Copies of this chain bind each other. A is one copy, B any other.
Amino acid sequence: MHEALKLENQLCFRLYTASRLITQAYYPLLSAIGLTYPQYLVMMVLWEQDCLPVNDIAKRLYLETNTVTPLLKRMEAEGFVSRSRSSADARQVIVNLTPKGRSLENRASCVPLHIGKAIMCQSLNAESAPALFATLDDIISTLSPVATAGPAGSVGSEASAFPVDSK
């Protein structure tokens, strides 16, 4: 019996499960305003900065364009965004918020607080949250192809032999 192959010793399984369960908690809140969770992520990108090419949205979300393209098409069909070829560079497709998409921000503004209440628990609170954020950011930057930009060398974590996913 391989101890390292026990479910209870898996980090990724915990991340995967926590992510899925929180996404399920979003479901009733988001479906009330007509969005899925990945669509909500795209909207958050565009609310921060409108008028972005597909590639910038994909990079910001660490997704491939072949995931984002159909996502944007569905959002265009729902009337939240519009897509148009750039005149400067005809390869690029620029994504814009429609008035309907822009107005959704106010209706979504209560979502984070609701979710915050739902996932609050003993080991996740105002003190522990920043450390959790930092750890997840570190994992993400370690695994993301080149990171989005930032200082060249970045963290550079030398891979050690510590078996994180096997305790």
Contact = CB atoms under 8 A, between A and B. Distances in A.
A80 interface: no
Contacts of A121: 138-139, 141-142, 155, 157
A161 B136 CA distance: 23
A25 B161 CA distance: 16
B132 A132 contact: yes
Q: State which size class the interface on A falls in.
A: 35 or more
A124 B137 CA distance: 11
Given A6-B48, A21-B140, 12 more contacts: A6-B44, A7-B60, A11-B133, A12-B37, A15-B136, A16-B23, A17-B140, A112-B163, A116-B162, A121-B139, A122-B155, A132-B135
